[in-house]
Amino acid sequence: MRFLNLHLLAALLCLFAAAPGALPAADEPGFRPLFDGKTLDGWDGDPRLWKVVNGEIVGSTEGVELDKNTFLTYRKAEFGNFILKAEVKLRNHNSGIQFRSTAMDDYVVAGYQADMAEGNWWGGIYEEKGKRGVMVNGWKGKAETVVKDKDWNDVEIRCQGPHIQILINGLLTAELTDDLKLSGVIAFQLHRGPPMEARFRNVRILTRD
């Protein structure tokens, strides 16, 4: 009986570890959460647009017309060399994760973005409010083969010195060497245009400075 109970316990633990939204697995030593799953503590954004629902950061522009892109910014620290992991679900339109970026006034952020859009741009690197625009197109022949439309997708951003990599659902979709900015804030985007919604969960980081 004791042998059976141990096997049952092990099976339940495996099931929990594999469940959507579960905490980082034991094979991720050094990672720490940037989102506590309950509040937006440490994050700053337009309160009309951002909230926490069922352990998810939900950004929605329903009923609010934007005249510019807007962001939810992590304000407790800036990050240089790191691995950032998050699960993202995009209902429609355009979003992204800013990194090594600069927080400006009125919830605006400028800098590198791991881009994502409805049927396009996932897995690429874009320069928000910069002159270079699309720096790496990670969609064609790459992210388009693995992105789950209107479902949860694993996004991973790796930065070490000038070297940047983006992975979508485990696939390397973009790689760039660029030293314009080697540290900055992390932020989530809501894009101006049609009413949209983006969700983020299990946001964690491993710093490598």
Token pair of 42, please? 């440490």
Give the pLDDT score at 97.
Answer: 98
**Which pLDDT does position 28 carry in this prediction?**
81
d(CA 196, CA 58): 11
Lookup result for tokens 């355009």: 94
Three-state DSSP class for 41? Answer: coil
Please give the Cα distance from 159 to 171 (Å, whole number).
16
Question: What phi, psi does 174 have (nearest 5°)?
Answer: -150, 140
Is 99 a member of any domain? yes
In a domain, 14, yes or no: no
- Burial of residue 150, with CB atoms counted within 10 A of its CB: 0-12 exposed, 13-18 middle, 19 or more buried: exposed
Q: How many domains does the chain have?
A: 1
- 26 domain-assigned: no
Closest of 49, 66, 71 to residue 58, by C-alpha: 49
What CATH code is carried by the domain that includes residue 120? 2.60.120.560
- 162 neighbors 177 (Cβ within 8 angstroms): yes
Determine, yes or no, domain membership for 89: yes
Question: How many other β-carbons are positioned within 10 Å of the β-carbon of residue 35?
Answer: 22
Each of the 209 residues of the chain gets a pLDDT tens digit; together they read 443 344 444 444 443 333 333 334 435 889 999 999 999 999 999 999 999 999 999 999 999 999 999 999 999 999 999 999 999 999 999 999 999 999 999 999 999 999 999 999 999 999 999 999 999 999 999 999 999 999 999 999 999 999 999 999 999 999 999 999 999 999 999 999 999 999 999 999 999 87
**Cα 88 to Cα 150: distance, rounded to the nearest angstrom:** 9
pTM: 0.86
SS3 8: helix
Determine the pLDDT at residue 27.
54
21 assigned to some structural domain? no
Q: Among positive and negative, which fits the CA dihedral 36, 41, 45, 49?
A: positive
Among 163, 189, 162, 160, CA closest to 175? 163
Domain housing 57: 32-207
Residue 5 covered by a domain: no
